[in-house]
Amino acid sequence: MRVLENREPQRVLFYFEELTKIPRESGNEKAVSDFLVEFAKENKLEYFQDSAMNVVVKKQGSKGYENHEAVILQGHIDMVCAKDKDKVIDFKKDSLEILVDGDFIRAKGTTLGADNGIAVAMSLALLEDKAAVHPPLEVLFTTEEETGMGGASNVDGSLFNGKTLINIDSEEEGEFCVSCAGGVRIKFHQPYKTVKNTYSKTYEIEIAGLTGGHSGIEIHKGRANAIRLLGRTLESLSKDIGIVKVDGGEKMNAIAKRAKAVISANRDLTEDIKELEKIFKNEHLTTDEKLEMNIREVEKESEMMNTSSANRLIDVMLLMVNGVQSMSAHIEGLVESSSNIGVLSTDKDEVVFESAARSSVESLKKKMIAQFESLASLSGGKVVLESDYPEWPFNPDSKIRDLMKSVYKDMYGEEAKIMAIHAGLECGILKRQIGDIDMISFGPNMWDVHTPNEHVSISSIERSYVFLKEVLIKL
Would you say 70 and 143 are in contact if contact means Cβ atoms under 8 Å apart?
no
| pLDDT per residue as tens digits for the range 104-119 | 999 999 999 999 999 9
Beta bridge pairs of residue 260: 206, 247
pLDDT of residue 69: 96
Residues taking part in catalysis: 78, 145
Residue type, 374: S
Residues counted in the chain: 475
pLDDT of residue 131: 96
Would you say 120 and 97 are in contact if contact means Cβ atoms under 8 Å apart?
no
What pLDDT band is residue 457 in, cutting at 50, 70 and 90?
Answer: very high
Task: Bin 171: left if φ > 0, else alpha if -120 < ψ < 50, else beta.
Answer: alpha
The DSSP-derived string for 425-462 is -HHHHHHHHH-S-EEEE----EESTTSTT-EEEHHHHH
From the list 270, 262, 350, the residue with the least C-alpha distance to 300 is 262
Average pLDDT along the chain: 96
Would you say 314 and 406 are in contact if contact means Cβ atoms under 8 Å apart?
no
What pLDDT band is residue 148 in, cutting at 50, 70 and 90?
Answer: confident
| pLDDT per residue as tens digits for the range 213-242 | 888 888 999 999 999 999 999 999 998 899
To the nearest 5 percent, what fractions of the chain are helix, strand and coil?
A: 30, 30, 40
Topology adopted by domain 183-389 = Alpha-Beta Plaits (3.30.70)
Beta bridge pairs of residue 262: 204, 245
pLDDT of residue 261: 98
Rounded distance between C-alpha atoms, residue 22 and residue 96, angstroms: 8
pLDDT of residue 147: 84
pLDDT of residue 425: 87
pLDDT of residue 459: 98
For the chain, the domains span 10-181+392-474, 183-389
Phi, then psi, of 320 in degrees rounded to 5? -60, 140
| pLDDT per residue as tens digits for the range 290-324 | 999 999 999 999 999 999 999 999 999 999 999 99
Would you say 267 and 237 are in contact if contact means Cβ atoms under 8 Å apart?
no
Global confidence as pTM? 0.79
Rounded distance between C-alpha atoms, residue 438 and residue 39, angstroms: 28
From the list 132, 125, 136, 120, the residue with the least C-alpha distance to 46 is 136
pLDDT of residue 440: 98
Task: Bin 148: left if φ > 0, else alpha if -120 < ψ < 50, else beta.
Answer: left
Q: What is the dihedral of CA 216, 54, 459, 449, to 10 degrees?
A: -40
Rounded distance between C-alpha atoms, residue 436 and residue 395, angstroms: 11
Rounded distance between C-alpha atoms, residue 271 and residue 237, angstroms: 12
Per CATH, the number for 10-181+392-474 is 3.40.630.10
386 burial (CB, 10 Å; 0-12 / 13-18 / 19+) is exposed
Task: Check whether 387 has a pLDDT greater than 90.
Answer: no
